[in-house]
Amino acid sequence: MSFDVIKGQQRIKERLGSMLTGDLPQSFLITGDKGCGKHLLAEELAGGILCESPTKNGRCGKCPCCIYFDAGTNPDIKRIEADKDRKNIRVEDLRREIISDIMIAPHVSHAKVYIINSDKLNIEGQNLLLKSLEEPVKGVYFILLSSEENILPTVMSRVVPVKMGNYSADDIIEILKEKGGKDLSDGRAAFLAEFSSGIPGKALELQNDSEFVEIRDEMIKILLDMPHLDLTDIMYDRYPVFEKNKDSIKEMLLLLLWTLGDLAALYSAKTPDQLENVKLKNADMKGLLVDFCRRHRNITLKNIGMAADAVTEFSRGLTVNVSFESACCSMLLKIHKEFAG
């Protein structure tokens, strides 16, 4: 109920709350990365617009409009999306769902709200919608959603922009715990929050992505096994992992760099107390990484730095169309040299 269901985004919630209780625009454009919660914010804003007694914290949750909203049956909120088998929202659907509909009186509320995925609007669709934005019918509100830079300047000039920012790690951890992650360890939650770059939808997706879990485990295992591998192991056992998961190479290289960074942080610790207090990106793997450091005291910070350079060099090479196989094997061999001596 109300904007409280949205974690973080405090400035946006305060701004929208002031609009709901003051001068309310009729057209909004909510932008942000995919998975940042645009749809949830749009739903709560729509509920606040239709609410009979909105507050600065959003809808009241008690009036008939809010009761319909909570039941998911308020007929005065219309959500416009493209059909699953289509790239864009069809112009004829816009005419039927919006242009012909806006003159019909609300069913249970004092207003009507249209939530539109504008990423699915082509230029023709945006131009068709423009007239409704330029000359809005009283009691009709539009909430456009976009994660792409595809909005026409003429449309931009008719909407109030609401740009969502990234979430804090604490916010994402709380979201992960609430969305069925009660058994999620604190370390695992911290890793997902960090790796998702402040985007809760990405964190939730990764939490349930068995393929990502497998890739991550493989990247950590490859590094920790390096002191014991021979060249045959690298060429015929470890390299195929990269070949098989080419589409995820950016994530794989980032995981390698994160793990190398964690090892550097652990090797830098001079005392048991310092070791205990080291904060790692792979927080849920701390025991495994600490054990590696204790067993391989011959590895130095310089070795780890050179290994990280090899990963970065491979990453840069991918941007200039180098041979994937030769560049990847070169990276693995350089890491092996640093870790195996």
Nearest to 124 by CA among 156, 159, 94, 101: 94
Q: What is the CATH number of domain 209-340?
A: 1.20.272
**What whole-number distance in Å separates Cα of residue 192 and Cα of residue 173?**
8
pTM recorded for the entire structure: 0.82
Q: Is-contact 68 86, C-beta < 8 A?
A: no
Q: What is the pLDDT of residue 181?
A: 67
Q: Is-contact 102 132, C-beta < 8 A?
A: yes
Nearest to 108 by CA among 70, 147, 51, 56: 51
Same fold, 2-163 and 209-340: no
- Listed by start position, the domains of the chain span 2-163, 209-340
Q: What is the pLDDT of residue 208?
A: 86
**What whole-number distance in Å separates Cα of residue 330 and Cα of residue 77?**
56
Q: What is the pLDDT of residue 1?
A: 61
pLDDT in 10s for each residue of the chain, 341 residues: 689 889 889 999 999 999 999 999 999 999 999 899 999 999 999 999 999 999 999 999 999 999 999 999 999 999 999 887 788 899 998 999 999 899 999 999 999 999 999 999 999 999 999 999 999 899 999 999 998 778 999 999 999 999 998 899 999 998 998 886 667 888 889 999 989 988 999 999 998 899 999 999 999 999 999 999 999 999 999 999 999 999 999 999 999 999 999 999 999 998 888 888 899 999 999 999 999 999 999 999 999 999 999 999 999 999 887 899 999 999 999 999 999 97
Q: In sequence order, what are the residues at sequence separation of 6 or more whose Cβ sits closer than 8 angstroms to the Cβ of residue 208?
A: none
CATH class for the region spanning 2-163: alpha beta
- Residue 31's φ and ψ, nearest 5 degrees, are -120, 160
Q: What is the pLDDT of residue 273?
A: 83
C-alpha neighbours within 13 Å on the C-beta side of residue 263: 30
Q: What is the pLDDT of residue 17?
A: 95
Nearest to 186 by CA among 283, 263, 289, 290: 283
Amino acid identity of 139? Answer: G
Q: Is-contact 56 19, C-beta < 8 A?
A: no
